[in-house]
Structure 1
């Protein structure tokens, strides 16, 4: 897996995962919406940690900057 997520993108994804976890654990959301938010939170956390988003590949997107030599 080649990393395709930049630092700011990673931080935003991890922050969204933390917000989702807080909402779930405090009981602010429940029912089907809680399941959807929970799944999205796990996806955001995983993609943020590994700096890889499979959806970016077919779309040809990369927020990771080019390395200068």
Structure 2
């Protein structure tokens, strides 16, 4: 897997994941929507850690800075 995520993209994903988690754990969002947000947050954290987003691949998107 070749990295296709830049630093800003990773930071934004982590922030969004934290917001999703906060919404769920404070009880603002519950039920199935809450579980969906938790799953999306987990995916955002995972893709930030590995610096690879599979959805970018078919579209040829890369937010990495050129080396």
Distance 1:33 1:43 in 2: 15
Structure 1 residue runs of 4 or more that deviate by more than 4 Å after TM superposition? none
User: TM-score, normalised on structure 1?
Assistant: 0.91
Structure 2: unaligned runs, 5 residues or longer: none
Q: CA deviation at 1:48?
A: 1.1
| Cα deviation 1:16-58 (Å, max 9, x = unaligned) | 0111111111111101110111111111111111110011111
Residue number in structure 1 paired with 2:22: 22
Distance 2:12 2:55 in 1: 16
User: TM-score, normalised on structure 2?
Assistant: 0.93
CA-atom RMSD, angstroms?
A: 0.8
Max radius of gyration: which structure? 1
Q: CA deviation at 1:61?
A: 0.3
Structure 1: unaligned runs, 5 residues or longer: none
